[in-house]
Amino acid sequence: MAKNIYFASDFHLGSPNYNESRKREERIVSWLNFIEPNCSELFLMGDVFDFWFEYKTVVPKGFIRLQGKLAQMADRGIKIYFFKGNHDMWVNDYFTKEIGIDIISDELIIERNGKKFYLHHGDGLGPGDAKYKFLRKIFRNPFCQWAFSILPPRIGLAIANGWSGSSRVASNKKEVFISEESEWLAIYAKEQLAKQHFDYFIFGHRHLPLDIKLNENSRYVNIGEWINYSSYGVFDGEDLRLEYYPNL
């Protein structure tokens, strides 16, 4: 039987509080159980965690059910990819060593069944948002990451969790669609199409499920988030669809 490829993003586990995050984690694990029989590859496309930093011998506690489920899926031969988002860009090699997950720092271009995909979390792309683009360079700078790593974990994680508490996820700000012309990731996708063809551009980060036709052969699909929508993408070998869990 043909296997599907699944795409999900923006779980933001850890936010806005322990109880809400735990409920969301249970829903995500339930979804993984649901897709597992028909899944050949799983792309987790950033902001899986609302904050993640790997010290040399310390990682943030929690999220054991998700990690255990991903390990089980990997052990059964399902290939898993983890994209660094703007909230978990400090993922290093822990998940690779422990589970066998491939860590993707920026874009990933793949071809499956004759279809070409451009994959990225979506942060730092397109016009505008100069402040974040500047901060992204600082946060991804190896020296800055080293400087943070020498802080005791108790202090470093307290600082990071305080920053996380002021995010749009913690405030439950729900994004809205204004127009295709104002969608910066759609603008970015069109710029890439001017250089080469892609059948699908798949992003997260936007926190809004979207499926926009860019031309006769190309689409921009944002797979949304799991706070309000529990949305994801699935490619069945012929077409890419946005779906929602539980499937109604």
Identify residue 133 by its one-letter amino acid code.
K
Name the CA dihedral angle for 140, 142, 144, 145, rounded to a multiple of 10 degrees. Answer: 80
Tokens representing residue 174 in the block: 């729900």
Average per-residue pLDDT for the chain = 88
Segment 154-171 mean pLDDT = 63
pLDDT at 92: 87
Query: Which pTM does this prediction carry?
Result: 0.89
Segment 212-238 mean pLDDT = 96
Q: Are 222 and 210 in contact (CB under 8 A)?
A: yes
Element (H, E) at 136: helix 130-139
What 8-state DSSP symbol labels residue 183?
A: -
Largest CA distance in the chain: 54
- For residue 41, the SS3 value is strand
Nearest-CA neighbor of 73 among 14, 28, 116, 21? 28
Segment 57-77 mean pLDDT = 93
Q: How far is residue 126's CA from residue 214's CA, in Å, rounded to a whole number?
A: 15
What 8-state DSSP symbol labels residue 227?
A: T
What 8-state DSSP symbol labels residue 119?
A: E
Q: Are 74 and 80 in contact (CB under 8 A)?
A: yes
Give the pLDDT confidence of 167-185 residue by residue, as tens digits.
556 556 777 777 788 788 9
Of 8 and 181, the structure prediction assigns the larger pLDDT to 8
Q: How many CA atoms lie within 13 A of 122 on its CB side?
A: 27
pLDDT at 4: 97
Element (H, E) at 108: strand 108-112
57: buried, middle or exposed (CB in 10 Å: 19+, 13-18, 0-12)?
Answer: exposed
Cβ partners under 8 Å of residue 207, min gap 6: 10, 168, 174, 175, 224, 225, 227, 228
Beta-strand ranges (E) seen in 35-96 are 39-44, 79-83
Of 44 and 161, the structure prediction assigns the larger pLDDT to 44
Q: How far is residue 124's CA from residue 132's CA, in Å, rounded to a whole number?
A: 7
**Is 248 a residue whose pLDDT tops 50?**
no
The two beta strands, 231-235 and 4-8, are: antiparallel
